[in-house]
Every structure is written in C-alpha cells, then in structure tokens.
Amino acid sequence: MAENEVYYCGDCRRQQRPAQGIFCITCSDKCRTVSWYTDRESESDALRKFKHMNPGKA
C-alpha cells in the first residue's frame, strides 16, 4: 500500500484505509470501493473508477 492510497466510495464519498477492506464500511458490503492515489488523481478520477466498478451507483 502506498502512503497516499485510500479506498474511496463514490456513493457516500467516504475514504477508508485499505486495511478496512474493499467494501465500504458505511454503505454496505454491496458497495465496492476503488483505490485512489490522492497525490496523482483527482476525486473526479476516483469517482469515474467507482462508477465503472459499481454501475447504477453515485
């Protein structure tokens, strides 16, 4: 894990540590987060990845 990597949920806009798992701990185990490197990607980049991984959400 990179120091600047978080897992991002585009549904509730939550960021969590990778150690917390790939599913959003706020939304549910049906909402898969995406890896977001905050030093080289914008939130809109992360949101685009999220929408691709979770069709119909966000």
Give pLDDT, residue 28. Answer: 81
Q: How confident is the model at residue 2 (pLDDT cuts 50, 70, 90)?
A: low
Sorted by where each begins, the domain ranges of the chain are 5-53
Contact (CB, 8 A) for 55 and 32: no
pLDDT of 1 above 60: no
Q: What percent of the chain has pLDDT over 70?
A: 95
| Pairing of the two strands 14-16 and 34-37 | unpaired
pLDDT of 35 above 60: yes
| Pairing of the two strands 14-16 and 5-9 | antiparallel
Give pLDDT, residue 15. Answer: 96
